[in-house]
Structure formats: C-alpha cells, structure tokens
Structure 1
Amino acid sequence: MSAKGKGWVVTVAVCAGLWLVQNGSGDVTPPVPSAAEAFAAGPGYHTDAAADPLPPSAPLRLRIPEIRVDAPVMLLGLAKDGSLEVPPAANRNLVGWWRDGTSPGAKGTAIVAGHVDNARGPSVFYSLGALKKGHRIDVTRKDGRTAVFTIDAIEVYDAGSFPDEKVYGPRDRAELRVITCGGGFTKKTGYKGNVVAFAHLIGVREPKAAT
C-alpha cells in the first residue's frame, strides 16, 4: 500500500460510530450502497464523456445536491506517523483533501474524505451510500472554476479487503473518490469498512465575469 493509500485508509477508519454507540444500537445506521450502483452491475449512467482535465487548483467547497451536502474543504497534511491528518470530528459539515495530492478536476485521482457521524449525530457524508450512478458532485476550486463530476459507481468495502489500487491508483483522466466510513457496524468495533463514491469529470463551470 502506498503512503498515500495508507494515509487515507487510516483517516477514514477512525470513525467508531460514537453516535450509534451512545444511542445503544445499530437500529439507525447510514445507508448502504445498493448492489445496482456497483461497477459489477453495469454502466448505468457512468458513460458520460469525460471532460479535459484542468490545471491544478485547491478545492474550496464540495456540493452533492442529492444528499444535501454543501461543505467547505479543508487542506490536510500528514501526521507524525505518516498517516493523513483527520478533519476535526466536532465539525459535522467539513470535508478533507490531502494538500499534496491530485486536486479535483486535474488529471489523476483526487481523494476527499469526511466523517459519517460524530458523538452528536450524522456528519457530512452520512448519506453517501444513498447516492446513485449519474448523480453529480460539484467542487468549487481556488481558481474560481467549478469542476463537475458524475458518479460512476458507489461501492462498500470491508477494511481488510480495501482495494488500494482501484481506489487510489493513477488515472489518465480527471477522477474523484469520495470516502467515508460504512459497511457493517457493531458497538464493539465500530464501522467495519468504507463507502467509496467513484466519479469522473464531465464539465467545468467558469467563474462569472465581473460586471
């Protein structure tokens, strides 16, 4: 596993489901992706033509209208142990992006992650597993452009069988991965895996000209 892959696995695996533990249960858990939204089920809507990659520029905000996500993006570095820093769990509406990784919209695989919940309740990516192929993800960047992605698949993986190369590996077009905790849940171990949304760039909205 590369350092980049290792860092992100550590980051998204720290969610223990504190809200569920405090409420005693797994009666109410985050949505689990449908098998119909996995790559194995077929292309669905993810055949939309890819747009040309953009020059690198840091992300500022991420929006997923279908699950009412509209969150600022913070930049993350590496911790002393080489793993990626974790977005503050106390902020339930915050996304993290590794500042040394591919920026969303640029050629390659951009990685963003966020908590599924905290001790007070659902967090930014609680409903990530409810998304479907063809749903859109918008990322506003520092250069003023908004990179528009379409979802190719939503998959869930156990922590012990996380496909590093499939998720983190380099790509020839501009792709995006959105990752959070998910899969099965127990009070003893927390979440057993991760939910991953795979997406690729299909368009760009340019900043509005000043009048």
Structure 2
Amino acid sequence: MPPAHRPALSRARLATLTLLTLVSVLTGCSADPDPTARVVPSASAPGTPRSGQPTASDAPAAPAEVAVPSVGITSSLMELGLNTDGTVEVPPAEEGMTAGWYTGGAVPGEIGAAVIIGHNDTRFGEAVFHDLKKIKEGADITVTDKTGKALHFTVTATESVAKNAFPTEKVYGPTQERALRLITCDGDFDAQGHPVDNLIVYATAS
C-alpha cells in the first residue's frame, strides 16, 4: 500500500496553496469491525465566490442531507474531518446508514469539489450507499443545507477504481465547477474482507 501523506494544514492555509500530489486509498466499507479511511485529500482550495474573496453572505450553509431518488438513498449528513494520522474519517460502522460530508473540501454549492463519503456495507449489514452502484449518468443528487435550501447536482460520470490507484487530484483537486463527489467501496473482497475498489460518482450543480 502506498504511504499516506498527512497534511497538517488548516482550511485557511489550504486555501492559499496549490494542489499537492498525494497518494490516496479508501478502505473500511466492508464488514471490518474497525473501519478506517485511507483517503488523504489534496491541499486544494475550497471554493470561493467569483469575486475571489469569500464573504459570509456568499458562503453556502453546511449540508444537512443527501438524497439520490433514483436509487432510493436518503441520509442525514454527519461532518467528517481528519484522523490523527491525517487520513479522512468515515462514519462509524454502527452509523453505517448515515453518510458524511468531508469538511476539508468545498461546501456543496461552492465552487470546488464537495465530497460525501458513505459505507457500502459494515459488519452490521448493508449500509447507506449499498445501492449507489445502480446510479446512472444524468441522475439527480439533492443536497439540502441546514437552512432547508435544496441544491441539485446532475451525475456526469461514475468510476470504479482500485484503492491503490485512487485518483486524488481528480476527486479533491481544484475545479471551477460547483462539483460533488460521492465515494463508497466497490468490487471484490481481499483476504482481510476489505473491498478492493472504490466507486466514485461525479456530479455538477444543475
């Protein structure tokens, strides 16, 4: 497994840096009793308004819920940060039916890449993103923020990738789009019971 990089940087500091090339792998969406994330995001800037200077009135509210009607997914969103080793948190296995928004990326609706992570399965059974593999290009993803405002995103592509070849820059890197990525596990299981791939859903604001 490639080494995990550990960016010890604040969000404000990240916003001033260019993209770093980091190696990323996501695990822990199986029935493993102690799931952990091995996704380490790039040091990309969160979205900013078109003026280039974020203001309180421009900034979207934090997301509260995600829904993918075409595959029957609806979930509240917990906030996910970084573990002490610098890897991205995932929802606890006992809360496998709840997805999480990575707070180090963009807020959904900002210019930039917003990332939502959910389990496929945990030791407790099928989890929130179990049916995400059924999603089709053109499908609607709705993110509702804490003020009740619904933001709509249209799926532009899906990708199943080996965890040891996770496309960090493509997922977390800078973009001028109001982008959304959903991530879960996918593929066959290895000898330790971990899925060997990740499923990534790419979407942009409608």
C-alpha displacement of 1:85: 2.1
Which residue does 1:135 correspond to in 2?
139
1:17–1:191 CA contact under 8 A, matched in 2: no
2:121–2:127 CA contact under 8 A, matched in 1: yes
1:7–1:84 CA contact under 8 A, matched in 2: no
Which residue does 1:154 correspond to in 2?
158
Are 2:200 and 1:196 equivalent residues in the alignment?
A: yes
Q: How does 1:2-151 map to 2 (within 5 A)?
A: 3=7, 9=24, 12-18=26-32, 55-151=59-155
Unaligned runs of 5+ in 2: 8-13, 15-19, 34-48, 51-57
> 1:69/1:76 Cα in 2 relative to 1: closer, same or farther (>3 Å)?
same
Distance 2:103 2:21 in 1: 16
Which residue does 2:177 correspond to in 1?
173
SS of 1:13's partner is coil
1:150–1:201 CA contact under 8 A, matched in 2: yes
Which residue does 1:37 correspond to in 2?
none
- CA-to-aligned-CA distance 1:23-71 (integer Å, 9 cap, x gap): xxxxxxxxxxxxxxxxxxxxxxxxxxxxx99733210000001111110
Larger % of helix: which?
1
Larger deviation, residues 89-98 vs 169-178: 89-98
C-alpha displacement of 1:77: 2.0
SS of 1:80's partner is coil
1:7–1:82 CA contact under 8 A, matched in 2: no
- CA-to-aligned-CA distance 1:84-108 (integer Å, 9 cap, x gap): 2221111232011122320111110
**TM-score using structure 2 length:** 0.73
SS of 1:63's partner is strand
Q: How many residues align?
A: 169
**TM-score using structure 1 length:** 0.72
Distance 2:21 2:148 in 1: 31
2:90–2:117 CA contact under 8 A, matched in 1: no
- CA-to-aligned-CA distance 1:164-200 (integer Å, 9 cap, x gap): 1111111101000000011222343520010000000
SS of 1:166's partner is helix
More RCO (CA 8 Å, sep 6+): 1
Unaligned runs of 5+ in 1: 20-51, 203-211
